[in-house]
Structure 1
Amino acid sequence: MAAKDVLGRRGEEIAAAYLTERGYRVIARNWRCRQGEIDVIASQGSELVFVEVKTRSSLAFGHPFEAITLGKVARLRRLAAAWCDQSGARAARIRIDAIAVIAPRGDEVRVEHLRGVC
């Protein structure tokens, strides 16, 4: 497995733990369909939350949130709808969030959470 894939998986683990510690219930991770993948699907009360996780080992190539483009957000919305259709889930509200994980080797991990990116 490539180093970037290992870092990405570590970031998703950290993000899922972060959400769980804050009272979210993680429903699925790395859900895939032909249109793409959703990193984390969680619920908080009556809300369904679809989470894009971006992980970096440093800010040398920009902040992780900079990698979330308008096109990526549009795809996340389509993926959220596809997951709801496939699972039959009904929620009072659906939200798309982004989590940035900055995980330098040998240093403290930083997690930033943006709620409702679209």
Structure 2
Amino acid sequence: MTGTAERIGAQPPGDRRASRAHTALGRFGEDAAARWLAERGYVIADRNWRGEAGELDIVAHHAGWWVGVEVKTRSGLAFGDPFESIDRRKLTRLHRLTAAWVRAHAADRRGTPWRVDAVAVLVPRTGGIRFDLLQDVRP
């Protein structure tokens, strides 16, 4: 055996950099979406809330509704529109998570309606940023 060792499941250095860049882009998109939503009257109540079924990117109060918000960020459309990555299974999970957040945190759990919104953030390498919002998205 030579002096080099291989770790099972280890990522090559280039893959780790790509993964970190992907994570940083997602974090940037969530931060930008939270600011953009706040400018539109959403009151941000929670970020990256973890429940048994996963994580809600943003929880906000808007126009009398509690809103679980899924944020999808892309640097281009080569892999499709950001909304295309939100399938029926993910929407079902987001609805469960939002209901769980409301049960755990909302003072008037019975009388407060809730919904799931989705924000697509497009950050092209050429500059600028575009937001698209879908409200009350259902499976």
> How would you bin the TM-score normalised by the shorter chain?
over 0.9
Are residue 63 (structure 1) and residue 72 (structure 2) matched? no
Q: How does 1:9-20 map to 2 (within 5 A)?
A: 9-20=27-38
SS in 2 for 1:30: strand
Between the aligned partners of 2:137 and 2:40, the Cα distance in structure 1 is 19
Between the aligned partners of 1:33 and 1:94, the Cα distance in structure 2 is 16
Q: Which has the higher contact order (CA 8 A, sep 6+)?
A: 1
What letter matches 2:88 in structure 1? L
Report the counterpart of residue 78 of structure 1 in structure 2.
96
Report the counterpart of residue 135 of structure 2 in structure 1.
115
Q: CA RMSD in A?
A: 1.3
Report the counterpart of residue 68 of structure 2 in structure 1.
50
Report the counterpart of residue 25 of structure 1 in structure 2.
43
When structure 1 is superposed on structure 2, of 38-47 and 82-91 the one drifting more is: 82-91
SS in 2 for 1:2: helix
Q: CA deviation at 1:106?
A: 4.2
Between the aligned partners of 1:42 and 1:82, the Cα distance in structure 2 is 14
Structure 1: state its 5+ residue gaps: none
TM-score scaled to structure 1, two decimals? 0.93
Q: Which structure has greater strand proportion?
A: 1
Which protein shows a greater Rg? 2
Q: CA deviation at 1:88?
A: 4.1
Aligned pairs, number: 118
Deviations 1:21-68 (CA, angstroms, capped at 9, x unpaired):
011100001000231000000001321111000000000010000000
Are residue 93 (structure 1) and residue 101 (structure 2) matched? no
SS in 1 for 2:116: strand
Between the aligned partners of 2:64 and 2:91, the Cα distance in structure 1 is 22
Structure 2: state its 5+ residue gaps: 1-18
